[in-house]
Structure 1
């Protein structure tokens, strides 16, 4: 059926349903909707055909690759002595060499990015064991022979399987992956202390939380990506945590070539600029006189000299002891580590300190033996006690020497990230030869945490991208240096989607997958940052969001949640109020009651709204009492406050005024109540007692004379 026939039938049905001929306008709109629907169906059909065509092409490619690999894999195994057995057989006087090969069991399981070949373990050549098939040397030879990645799986599907990456596909472990792509793969529930390590089999992301893995050893020869990974770690944690929560002490003994761009980060240096050492510098001034200057060291720069490392580690060790002693005094409050401390004292958190020492063996080897022993003892002590205190050690090295990596350091640094290494080097760094079996691809590492060993591809960040990220971090925390990253996220959401209203329940539901943002956290955050005044009347605290200072105004119970307002707006109204003797007028208050509170005058609600303009509870109560007996003009009409019943607030009622008569010769007109919610004919004078000077308006009364202009 053509589109024209469909359209005519549709219009006919429309005419029959309406009982009359549709108008030209109706025909136009209905026809356009119909044509748009037809066009959408055509587009969907075209997309479906394209997808089916691509799937068909992919299946054809996969079938060819499976046929090719199914023949090549047994041949490649046959070349390995561990996976094949050669025998000599004599037949008809001729000696032949017969090769007993490993066979495969059909069918082959085809996945999007790899194929699974099951080995016939019931018919293995004599002398060939399963351990021979998973030997790293055999796998390495298979990778070269097949031209693609090969892994082993003997746990998920039963039996023994070779996982062979699709030729030209993504691969089981990708050869390269960008930093942005890895950050996008991070789960929403990951905390701000989580950082990506790399991507492994089937593009599965591996990340670690420094709260759980406090100390890390990163090792690798030149070109393996060790310095790039350290740079990724610094940028990731600095982007997610404010300088108030994270301090970084960075040392690079290759003269700082890899980290020179990072020395402008606001996170560098000791917390609150704690002095590490104080020394005198002697120099010759411009006039030729000797000048003595005192200098203080806060470690807020890139450390490149080994002699500067000793005071840094000494201070970190003392700080570790000081923090643990403080936790011991707070044990009655269930505080035993930095996590519990910062959860209790969120407004004044104890910052985590990340001590990164790249090429630290250089510092050990270039100083005296006494100083070297002191450095190793300090690192060992921090690694042993630093987890609860929030002080973390990250060591980078190219040298795998037992003299540098002594037993005390190795025992306390369980998380290891090692690039391609020789067998003996891998044994020193990992405790196994695993790092010698991984691919030699740049950025490929062996990751070990506890007893888990994985081959991962670490993310790549270009120098240009690293510079851009560094600048973004500097700009982000320039005006928000002291803000909690999680708190900043919530306040930004309140400004962007809630017009500044901080509704704790609404905000909590918007972040259901973030383990740091709990319901109690959202509620306590609002209470902590709510506007208060000190004994001297100074308001606070200020909240820096997107470069602007804000105050979080208190909530009005049952009316509105807490609200963020700029300090300029708040102080502007304060200054305006204090410039005159009267900070606000009765008319402004009653106008607000009429417009924004449905005419209801509740002392508590009105006070909550007007307290920010200097209103006192007593002043609000006096205004309410005053207009119980006096009328107030609002927009040319007179209103008075009336009680509506027990436990209900007073409400503004519209009133009229009658001119003075002979019995009442006062100049002030007598106001009369006109309740719009009650019919006049049903009102009797005896129904209720009215305030003095008020009368019920009767429909038989004469038109009042000489009514003032403001009551016209």
Structure 2
């Protein structure tokens, strides 16, 4: 973990392997993470430990979070940290608007990279002074199934587009679900999320859906997981990290008590509200004239 922290700001401590060795990963190389597991398997604890790892080593100018929590209780304790680009989103319709905004933000960042003539956000930030640097944006979705029920086609399209293109702009996705069925974790989503973690699931069918092989149905629960990195042919069995509620509260209290820099906040509240309903694209000024002509 310490070795990776020296090289990357997005280092995650995942847990211990079967031989007791510590296992850590770099989110910027993943570059997106798909997590599945039944209730009580340790999925939310894993999400909390990932968030805490990133909070330990990054200021709000380095990393900003967008958290979507349809359950309303899992991620809301992080509401007071200054790293949030917007308060934790609990409404699925607002989450859809946020996804549209994130799509637009990715396109804007690509325009900035193209104007500067660089390939990715690391090189861009090295060439800019502090206030012009772009923070990493990490979207965390705690329950994908709820979003899929709200707008299946649009959510799938935007998630796949972000997963394909967003890595170079510093936007990373961490998506969790407790129902890894084919209608939630579709083939397109699986193809674009090569790094996956599966906790204990209820059936071999669910295990095949998330990992393309059986085995996750035999896990013991309570943080017992199979980790499938991008470069591996077979998943690796780990015992996940445990971060207690008291430790999380201390970390959140520390960051909440720091002096906030308003300039560092992205303030996407107004931007999300201004995103239009149809795919997030502004209406063409000639649209009314075209309608009248058609009539």
TM-score bracket relative to the smaller structure: 0.7 to 0.9
Contact 1:243/1:482, CA 8 A, preserved across alignment: no
Choose from 213, 217, 227 the match for 2:44.
227
Q: Identify the structure with the greater strand proportion.
A: 1
Residues 637-678 of structure 1: CA distance to partner in whole angstroms, max 9, x if unpaired?
Answer: xxxxxxxxxxxxxxxxxxxxxxxxxxxxxxxxxxxxxxxxxx
Tell me how far apart the structure 1 counterparts of residues 54 and 238 of structure 2 sit (CA, whole Å): 20
Match of 1:213 in 2: 30
SS of corresponding position for 2:235: strand
Choose from 258, 264, 271 the match for 2:74.
258
Tell me how far apart the structure 1 counterparts of residues 262 and 139 of structure 2 sit (CA, whole Å): 20
The answer to whether residue 124 in structure 2 is matched with residue 344 in structure 1 is no
Residues 495-525 of structure 1: CA distance to partner in whole angstroms, max 9, x if unpaired?
Answer: xxxxxxxxxxxxxxxxxxxxxxxxxxxxxxx
The answer to whether residue 180 in structure 2 is matched with residue 395 in structure 1 is no
Measured after TM superposition, the shift of residue 457 of structure 1 is 0.7
The answer to whether residue 138 in structure 2 is matched with residue 354 in structure 1 is yes
The answer to whether residue 90 in structure 2 is matched with residue 304 in structure 1 is yes
Match of 2:188 in 1: 408
After superposition, residues 26-175 of structure 1 pair within 5 angstroms as none
Match of 1:324 in 2: 110
Match of 2:270 in 1: none
The answer to whether residue 225 in structure 2 is matched with residue 445 in structure 1 is yes
Tell me how far apart the structure 1 counterparts of residues 210 and 109 of structure 2 sit (CA, whole Å): 31
Choose from 237, 240, 243 the match for 1:461.
243
Measured after TM superposition, the shift of residue 186 of structure 1 is 3.7
After superposition, residues 490-569 of structure 1 pair within 5 angstroms as none
Tell me how far apart the structure 1 counterparts of residues 7 and 263 of structure 2 sit (CA, whole Å): 22
Tell me how far apart the structure 2 counterparts of residues 441 and 226 of structure 1 sit (CA, whole Å): 10
Choose from 166, 169, 172 the match for 1:386.
166
Tell me how far apart the structure 2 counterparts of residues 479 and 263 of structure 1 sit (CA, whole Å): 14
Measured after TM superposition, the shift of residue 482 of structure 1 is 7.5
Contact 1:186/1:196, CA 8 A, preserved across alignment: no
Indicate the structure (1 or 2) with the bigger Cα radius of gyration. Answer: 1
Match of 1:364 in 2: 148
SS of corresponding position for 2:34: strand
Tell me how far apart the structure 1 counterparts of residues 129 and 214 of structure 2 sit (CA, whole Å): 45
Tell me how far apart the structure 1 counterparts of residues 192 and 98 of structure 2 sit (CA, whole Å): 20
Give me the CA root mean square deviation: 1.9
Match of 2:253 in 1: 471
Contact 2:139/2:172, CA 8 A, preserved across alignment: yes
Contact 1:220/1:397, CA 8 A, preserved across alignment: yes
Measured after TM superposition, the shift of residue 203 of structure 1 is 1.3
Tell me how far apart the structure 2 counterparts of residues 244 and 424 of structure 1 sit (CA, whole Å): 42
Structure 2 runs not aligned, ≥5 long: 265-295
Q: TM-score, normalised by structure 2?
A: 0.82
Measured after TM superposition, the shift of residue 236 of structure 1 is 1.6
Contact 1:243/1:481, CA 8 A, preserved across alignment: no
The answer to whether residue 218 in structure 2 is matched with residue 432 in structure 1 is no
Match of 2:272 in 1: none
Choose from 20, 23, 26 the match for 1:203.
20
Measured after TM superposition, the shift of residue 248 of structure 1 is 0.5
Measured after TM superposition, the shift of residue 372 of structure 1 is 2.2
Contact 1:244/1:481, CA 8 A, preserved across alignment: no
Structure 1 runs not aligned, ≥5 long: 1-184, 270-299, 484-712
Contact 2:199/2:221, CA 8 A, preserved across alignment: no
Choose from 87, 99, 104 the match for 1:313.
99
Match of 2:62 in 1: 245
Contact 1:195/1:233, CA 8 A, preserved across alignment: yes
Residues 221-240 of structure 1: CA distance to partner in whole angstroms, max 9, x if unpaired?
Answer: 11111111111111221221
Tell me how far apart the structure 2 counterparts of residues 464 and 481 of structure 1 sit (CA, whole Å): 28
SS of corresponding position for 1:395: strand
Tell me how far apart the structure 2 counterparts of residues 341 and 266 of structure 1 sit (CA, whole Å): 24
SS of corresponding position for 2:237: strand
SS of corresponding position for 1:203: coil
